[in-house]
């Protein structure tokens, strides 16, 4: 029986991995899996060797403060992969975690084929990473066609596969009577999947809602949460005493809600593609600590990034 070990570093990577594996299970059902994953892979019956939350950190300062915990988890992941002895190591996104794991595994057992999904953003910063990556990644799966040239230049095998969110079609235009009344208009809000992001952005978003409500409450604000941060967001909404806010986490309801929205406010990231795909006007927001802002300004090669 063939074996695949899946390594993800955050909820968005877990979702992307699950999209691939769910299709692979149909084509080839006789594969044994083990992972560092989250809820989506778990729903496919794939065990995770530890909780993904233990490696989800945001920004340089947060990573530095938890560097020993992260290193410990990298080493544990490598040990478990070697013991599992997979035919393929399938790493997804979160390059500072997943690619470090892949590099260590390849040094120990170069017979394990390494496939990485979601190329690191070398066009934004640290372009020289490509030269290093070719030593331990056998095949790179690309979200965007323009990425090919960076990996072709170093003769790294790569395939443009596109972004699954762009391929999704949001066809449902059902009126969600339990979420919105006919005299209100929906504004969808995406506060982020990481708890650290939500902690930072939620006060700003609640202030935004207060300003929008000033004088006339005609909007229905709906937070698109993950299962992990839904309770936290609900608690903060209750504390705010704002009445025209709902919090949802069901993926089908979230898609229907977005398609019925007149506007969206979203944390920078993958979800912005989903919003664009639904043709919903939006504002993308993000907030860095002062130290992280200075570091990014010194390192990035582009004026704008999402």
Residues 126-185: tens digit of each pLDDT? 677 888 999 999 999 998 888 899 999 999 999 999 877 655 544 444 445 556 555 678
Structurally, the chain folds into a number of domains equal to 2
Residue 180 lies in a domain: no
Are residues 113 and 30 part of one domain?
A: yes
Please state, for a pLDDT cut of 90, what percent of the chain lies above it: 53
Is residue 126 domain-resident? Answer: no
Listing DSSP states for 45-99 in one string gives T--BSS-GGGG---HHHHHHHTHHHHHHHHHHHHHHHHHH--SEEEEES-HHHHH
pTM assigned to the model: 0.67
The arithmetic mean of pLDDT across residues 38-50, rounded, is: 94
193 falls within a domain: yes
> Domain for residue 159, yes or no?
no
What is the enclosing helix (H) or strand (E) of 269?
Answer: none
What letter does residue 48 receive in the DSSP assignment? B
pLDDT tens digits, 49-84: 998 877 765 555 565 666 778 889 999 999 999 999
33: domain CATH number is 3.40.50.2000
Q: Domain of residue 30: give its range.
A: 2-118
Last residue of a domain, one of 118, 136, 165: 118
Domain membership flag for residue 280: yes
Domain end call among 59, 90, 118? 118
Position 85 confidence tier, pLDDT thresholds 50, 70, 90: very high
Same structural domain, 198 and 109 = no
Q: Are 138 and 116 in contact (CB under 8 A)?
A: no
């Amino acid at each position: 029986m063939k074996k695949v070990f899946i390594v993800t570093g955050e909820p968005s990577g877990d979702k992307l991995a699950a999209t691939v594996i769910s299709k692979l299970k149909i084509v080839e059902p006789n594969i044994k899996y083990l992972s560092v994953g989250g809820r989506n892979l778990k729903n496919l019956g794939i065990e995770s060797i530890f909780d993904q939350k233990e490696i989800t950190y945001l920004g340089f300062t947060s990573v530095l403060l938890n560097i020993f915990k992260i290193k410990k988890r990298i080493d544990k992941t490598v040990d478990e992969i070697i013991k599992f002895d997979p035919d393929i190591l399938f790493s997804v996104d979160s390059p500072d975690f997943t690619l470090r794991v892949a590099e260590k595994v390849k040094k120990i057992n170069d017979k394990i084929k390494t496939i990485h999904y979601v190329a690191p953003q070398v066009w934004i910063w640290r372009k020289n990473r490509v030269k290093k990556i070719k030593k331990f990644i056998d095949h790179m799966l690309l979200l965007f066609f323009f990425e090919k040239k960076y990996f072709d230049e170093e003769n790294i095998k790569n395939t443009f596969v596109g972004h699954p969110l762009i391929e999704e079609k949001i066809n449902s235009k059902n009126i969600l009577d339990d979420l919105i009344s006919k005299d209100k208009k929906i504004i969808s809000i995406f506060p982020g999947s990481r708890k650290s992001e939500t902690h930072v952005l939620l006060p700003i978003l609640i202030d935004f809602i207060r300003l929008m409500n000033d004088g006339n409450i005609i909007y229905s604000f709906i937070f698109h949460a993950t299962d992990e941060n839904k309770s936290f967001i609900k608690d903060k909404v209750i504390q705010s005493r704002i009445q025209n806010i709902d919090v949802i986490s069901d993926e089908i309801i979230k898609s229907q809600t977005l398609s019925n929205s007149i506007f969206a406010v979203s944390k920078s990231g993958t979800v912005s593609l989903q919003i664009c795909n639904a043709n919903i006007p939006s504002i993308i927001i993000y907030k860095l600590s002062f130290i992280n802002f200075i570091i990014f300004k010194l390192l990035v090669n582009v004026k704008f990034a999402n």
